[in-house]
Amino acid sequence: GQNIDQPTEMTATEGAIVQINCTYQTSGFNGLFWYQQHAGEAPTFLSYNVLDGLEEKGRFSSFLSRSKGYSYLLLKELQMKDSASYLCAVRDDSGNTPLVFGKGTRLSVIA
Amino acid sequence: EPEVTQTPSHQVTQMGQEVILRCVPISNHLYFYWYRQILGQKVEFLVSFYNNEISEKSEIFDDQFSVERPDGSNFTLKIRSTKLEDSAMYFCASRSDRESSYNSPLHFGNGTRLTVT
């Protein structure tokens, strides 16, 4: 089976740093993806991890620990436009296996 | 930047009617997907398509659903007899074959909001 867990909601202050956690239990593992989704819009790709460690991309970083089945997305210097849902998704098998998404974490950035 | 386009953006239909949702994937992509998202819920996989055939489908994708690539650019999802519970946002996505299969992300269209009354 597949299970991907994320907190439902988080609130953070403009200019601050926020960490969104994701834990997963899947039968296999071939990569973890983070997507951003604004209300009523399509998910847009943020980052990808397949090896343990931190991947940095501007204000966004993503970390993976395969042994712990754990990832986090780190957002620095938060801006109001970062208010969105952040979706953790896992590819659990071969390259063509579709992504399985968690329920998403709705982040509210407040002034 | 090339993008996945979907039409219509919003479709209202009566229960029992057939609907066809249309997608134009990014032109050099070879893997195509349909996902749906019921309001307030997670993005759920429906079906994947490669080399003119379904490569994988979920339990949601029952006999009421079908997909087709009628020409070199369009990718369609048909629901034969819609039910109230089919109301959702339907996202088409595509993926390149040129990047390594393991790290190529899905590129999503803006979705079609289907409302069944």
Residue the block writes with tokens 């996505």: B93
Say whether A59 sits in a helix, a strand or coil.
Answer: coil
pLDDT in tens, B22-78: 999 998 888 999 999 999 999 999 999 988 899 999 999 999 999 999 887 899 999
pLDDT in tens, A87-98: 999 988 765 678
Q: Do A48 and B31 touch (CB under 8 A)?
A: no
A10 touches chain B (CB under 8 A): no
Q: Do B108 and A104 touch (CB under 8 A)?
A: no
Q: Do A99 and B42 touch (CB under 8 A)?
A: no
Say whether B84 sits in a helix, a strand or coil.
Answer: helix
Give how far Cα B43 sits from Cα of A15, A103, B34, B113, Å: 29, 7, 10, 13
